[in-house]
Amino acid sequence: MSKESKELGKKGEDLAVDLLIQKNYKIIERNYTFEKKGEIDIVAKDPETGVLVFVEVKTRANLNYGEPEYGITKNKMMQVKKIAEIYLYEKEIDEVECRFDVISVLFQGLQKPVINHYVDAFR
């Protein structure tokens, strides 16, 4: 991954965190990684339901490869679910309801970024 891609991804994740904070989500962790096998961008708690939310953020600089959310493949979903299971095991979290959200961020030149939050996106 190029330096530019990493910087773009970080900007997208920062905007996603800002959005979640605006919605009163509690940010528990960012960039949880397990042995370089995968990463969860954001772990948060939904203020209305108390559900533990694993958030995948997809950021793109343009639409050359389609909307950012289309980058979430079945394989990516399986990988995120597996890392979420490891997270729960490692943190000794039992009996908690969880879900997977996606936040897409599209930067379009000088325009304001387009941000979409898809709740329970893996269902």
CA atoms of 26 and 13, how far apart (whole Å) = 15
pLDDT tens for each residue of 65-116: 999 999 999 999 999 999 999 999 999 999 999 999 999 999 988 889 999 9
CB contact set of 75 (below 8 Å; sequence gap of 6+): none
CA atoms of 103 and 56, how far apart (whole Å) = 6
Q: Domains in the chain, start-ordered, CATH in brackets? A: 3-118 (3.40.1350.10)
